[in-house]
Each structure stands twice: as structure tokens, then as C-alpha cells.
Structure 1
Amino acid sequence: MGAPPPSADDPADDPADHDAVRALVEGVLAWHRPDDRDLPWRAPGTTPWGILLSEVMAQQTQAERVAGRWVELVERFPDPSAMAEAAPAEVIDLWVGLGYNRRAVNLHRAAVVMVERHGGEVPDDLDGLLALPGVGPYTARAVLAFAFDRDVVPVDTNVARVVARHTGRVLDRADAQALADGAVRWGRGAATAAALMDLGATVCRARTPACEGCPVMATCSWAGGPEEDPAGRGAHRPRPQGRFEGSARQARGRIIAAARAGLLEGGAALELAGEHGEAVLDALVADGLVVRSGRGFALPGTTGKSRDGERDRED
């Protein structure tokens, strides 16, 4: 392995870095074919709500895995009002298998905020989006780009990796964002964002980059080395999760799965919590994923009782 790549003292002010990213954007826009990835939210007519839903669902989950489930959720909740009127339990029910159930609760909370403060519409400004529960800088920018075609690029791990490799620099979060935003062609925010994301997902992959088949290899400063991969360090490098088996995450998943079937007795909940004990139950309550109901636990917005196979909703 060669010498490590230079760190970014301030690449946002370096003309060479801006030129490199502009060349990158020009190249990927010429190469990109959005239909090559069959993602349903890219269909014409997708509403800002549909875009927001897709972005929240795809947080830490591969887009292709989300696609079919997105269709189900959009059919059940076609707008924020429909979700806000439902019990949080129903959203959690439909979220099963997507992981990180806290996202389902935050999405329901965001729908309530949109109904109460924005007339049931997705806000079209950065501050309004960032004020929604569960919406951070990346998701807010993704909605601005894909729903409203603003000239911003949401910098996720894929985009940051592409930009870092193309400039040959280790980038922090702010510099990766500034370089990406500075290279957006006027009026093509959505196209630029999608092209960079797809390049990172399909060609400029983290562990197995296909440099020989890359459409922008000629202008890439790294192009497979031999220097150390500049995307191997920096703020957006992938962070491996801890072991799942025996973890609190696994215990949380077991408890929520059991609560989906109806009221979960306290003793049974503690048994599912295992060595993590009451701390896991307290955390689930604090996160709004379960509520204490009598001597047990239930999903929020329900009585925890079942009738004819359907959970009763609290009025």
C-alpha cells in the first residue's frame, strides 16, 4: 500500500478539488441512466411524501430491499394525514423486517407534525424538514433534491466515497458536502444526486470498486490505488456494527415482535430481554416503541388486546 492520501485542510477552498468534482459530475451525468435501478419512488408523479418515506426507509437499509415495502406503505399511507390518523402500532406492524423500528415511530411523529404545522404537506425548506422527528441533514437534503429538485446534493456514504476518491483526499463531513453542492449543475440537483448515488452503489463500491469499468476513471485521482483509499478514513467511512447475537438490539427486536402479537406480560418481556433486563424495556418505552399497559407491554396506540386477530386501538 502506498502513502496515505492527504487530509483535507480545507478542500472546499481548493480550486483543484472543485475542478475534480465538477469533472466527476459532468461524467456521471453523461453516463447515468436512472432506469437502470428499478426503484419505484423514481417513477414520475411520486409525491414529496413518497420521497420522504423512501429516504427514511432507506436509512441504513439497502434501497433494493426497501422497494417492495415502500409500495405497501405508500398504498396504506398515501399522505401524511393518513399516517397521522393511524396508531403508531400499525406503522410498527408494517415496518417489520426493515430494522431500526425507531424510524417507524419517528416517521409517525413526523406525519403528525406535518399535519399540525404544515397543512398535511411535506415542508419544502431545509429548516422545516430538519424540525421533523427523525430527519437529519442527509434526509432533509435528499427530499429537497428529489422532491423539489433543489440544487443540493445529499451526501451519504456512497456519495462521500465517490467524492473522496475522485479528489484523492480524506474529507470531513462539511467539506464533502461543500464540494458536492458546489458542483451541482444549475437546475439538475436531483439528477446529480441520483447519478452520484448510483455510481457509488453499483461501481465505486466500498470493498470491491469496479475501477476498470468506471465511467469517470480518467478523471479520478485514486482510480484503485496504489495509494491508500482516501475513502477509508474520514467522517463518512462505514462503521461496522457490533455483534448482533446476544446484543440489546436483538433483545429489542424480540420484544417488539412479541408485542406485535398482543399484550406482552411483564415476565415474558423480561425473559426476552435476557441479560439486558429492565434497561432494554425502559429504553423501548423511552423511544416510544412500547408502552406499559397494566402488568405488561403493548405497542403504542393500542390496548394490547386482540379481537378477531386485530389489535384494538385506543381512542
Structure 2
Amino acid sequence: MTTQETPAAPDKPASLGTALNQWYDRHARDLPWRSPGTTPWAVLLSEIMSQQTPVARVVPLWTAWLERWPTPADLAEAPTDEILRAWANLGYPRRALRLRECARAIVTDHHGRVPDTVPELLALPGIGDYTARAVAAFAFGCAVPVVDTNVRRVQRRLARGEFLQGTAKAGDLADVADLMPWVDDDPALTRRGYRNPRHRPEDRREAVGMCASLMELGATVCTAKSPQCGICPVSDRCRWIALGRPAPSAADSAAAKKRVQKFEGTDRQVRGRIMAILRAEGTTEVAVDEFTGTSDDAEQRARALESLVADGLVTQTDAGPGARYRLPR
């Protein structure tokens, strides 16, 4: 009598987190702040610099800042004009001054060490919910949902079948947490009893990895306009693909276009041009008529200068027709 062999059980599909994290290990961009041994301060700096700024522009300036101010204590003592010059063309220069405020608070309130919990990070000047969670996850290995535009897009395509990520909403954190096998005690979620009672050590490790892999997938594969579904590691469980990749409605498309901020011709562009003149090497004070080339509109130039002074980014040294301006010291 021939013994009949029991057929082998089919391989169990990898969990969402495992599939994402294995893909990340093979394909993630080689960014310097992801290197082993990167300090929490360096991670915090990378997150602030990367807000609304292309990564390629951030990398060299992030490196230069760390060489110059490797710790919060170093930046806390830096003069304003040096900080603004070092910020260069990253845009939104108020971030640079808020970074110094943040550094001073870290020195004063945390003995020079970046705090490692979301509530403590949120209490720092200039640190919002996204940045606090990103630093907690990427610098300290906390399993907390980190939600930016890229993560929101991945979640809404994957779980809801929506092509456009839409605007941020209160439920985004819980929606992303639902993708994770484990979430640490989280001030935004634990009030609702958000914990997985079947927690295993591997669940937490997987969840920590997902903080980065979800973001990387949205930045490089599940992009806003041209998602590369053919190379997506989780395309087999994507609701948007299962629904036939439906196009967004005309109303949703129109709303998305409205959310795109134009830059050309705006006061923000003129402010940037003025700051570039003041940051130039060897520049001390600049006469008001030297800003003529920043805009053809004299009222816009005046408005931009006035707002820069109000924001503490520029100092006016003389008034009237011969007004002069410089970077604060």
C-alpha cells in the first residue's frame, strides 16, 4: 500500500508590514539621516529642513549645519545672521529661527538632549504633530503613526480605494494606526483604548519599520500623479487597484488643483529674493533701491520688506527714502 503524502500547506502571505519593510530594506533611498548612529538632533534637523523642500536641496545644507552646529547647545548660541545665511535657499526662513528656539528649549528644559516622547517633543517651539511623531519614530524607535502627505495617500489608496489623498483630517492618525500591528501608548489614540491586546515583540518591530516604509512608498512609488503600481510591494492588497484604479471625480480633481500653491509672482517669491540679496557673502547693509529687481511692483516690494521686518528676519537701520536693511544680529 502506497502511503499518500499530505500536500504541503500553501505559503502564508506576508503581512502588510512585512511586505513593506522587506521592500524598504531593498529599495529605500540612501539618505544620510537614515545612517546608523545618526543623533536625534540630526534627525530632528532633517525633519524641519525637509518640510516643503526637495530632499536633494536639503542634504548638503543638513550636512553643513551639523558640521557647524552638531548639538542643540551649539545652535542655541548662534547669531541670527549666521543662522539665516546658513539656511540659504531652503525657503521659509522662519523655520531657522524656530530651530534655534527649539535648541534653546532643549538645552534649558532637557539638559541638551532631544526628548524621546511625543508629548515632550510637541512642547518644543516650532515642533508640530508630524515632526514630533517623526522624531519619536525615526530617532527613538517609537511605534507611533507618522502621517504626512505621502503616508495619507498610501493609506487612502490602500484601504479606501481613493486616488487623491485629500486634505488632512482628524481621523488620519487612527486610519494609519489601523494599518500597523502595534501602536505604543499614544496621547492621540490611547484615550480611545487603542492598543492591540495580542501584542508580540515582532509586531512592535514591524510597526516601527512601517513608520518609514509607508512614507518611502508614497514618496517613490505611490506618487501623487503617476503611481508605479507594477513595482508596488503591496499592490495585491490595494483597494484602489481592486476597484479598477478609478479616476477621481471632477470635483475632487478641482479641489486638488486649488490646494496647489502657486509661487511665481507671489509675495513669498519676492521675500525670497530680498533674503538672497541680504544673505550674499560680504553684504552688511543694503539700500532700499537695491531691491528694485526683486519685483516690478513697488507696493509688493514694500509689503515684502515690511513683512520680513515684522517676522524678525530683516532689520531696518534707516527710515525714509534712504532706508537701509540688514540681517538681524
Is TM > 0.5 for Structure 1 vs Structure 2? yes
Q: Quick one: structure 1 residues 152 and 194, their matched pair in 2 at CA, closer, same or farther if it must change by over 3 Å?
A: same
| Structure 2 unaligned blocks of 5 or more | 1-13, 183-202
1:221-240 mapped onto 2 (5 Å cutoff):
221-223=239-241, 225-229=244-248, 239-240=259-260
Give the percent of matched residue pairs that are identical in Structure 1 and Structure 2.
Answer: 43
The residue aligned with 1:48 is 40
The residue aligned with 1:297 is 325
Equivalent residue in structure 1 for 2:147, among 138, 149, 155: 155
Structure 1, residues 169-220: CA drift from partner, whole Å, max 9, x if none?
5675332211222414414454211111111111111100011221101100
Deviation at 1:275, TM superposition (A): 3.1
Output the CA distance in 1 between the equivalents of 2:159 and 2:74: 45
Deviation at 1:233, TM superposition (A): 5.3
Aligned: 1:199 with 2:217: yes
1:167-186 mapped onto 2 (5 Å cutoff):
167-168=159-160, 172-182=168-178, 183=180, 184=182, 185-186=203-204
Which segment drifts farther, 185-194 or 91-100? 185-194
RMSD: 2.7
Aligned: 1:262 with 2:284: yes
In structure 2, give the amino acid aligned to 1:240: V
Q: Quick one: structure 1 residues 96 and 225, their matched pair in 2 at CA, closer, same or farther if it must change by over 3 Å?
A: farther
Q: Count residues in correspondence.
A: 277
Q: Quick one: structure 1 residues 221 and 212, their matched pair in 2 at CA, closer, same or farther if it must change by over 3 Å?
A: same
Q: Does the CA contact (< 8 Å) of 2:267 and 2:304 recur in 1?
A: yes
Structure 1, residues 227-280: CA drift from partner, whole Å, max 9, x if none?
2359x959x9683112x3321011101211122222122443577463314322
Structure with more relative contact order (C-alpha pairs < 8 Å, separation 6 or more): 1
SS in 1 for 2:239: coil
> TM-score of the superposition, structure 1-length normalised?
0.79
Q: Does the CA contact (< 8 Å) of 1:103 and 1:134 recur in 2?
A: yes
1:18-57 mapped onto 2 (5 Å cutoff):
23-33=15-25, 36-57=28-49
Output the CA distance in 1 between the equivalents of 2:63 and 2:49: 11
Q: Does the CA contact (< 8 Å) of 1:126 and 1:141 recur in 2?
A: yes
Q: Does the CA contact (< 8 Å) of 1:84 and 1:109 recur in 2?
A: yes
The residue aligned with 2:300 is 276
| Structure 1 unaligned blocks of 5 or more | 1-21, 302-315
In structure 1, give the amino acid aligned to 2:260: P
In structure 2, give the amino acid aligned to 1:258: I
Q: Which runs of 4+ in 1 moved over 6 A?
A: none
> TM-score of the superposition, structure 2-length normalised?
0.76
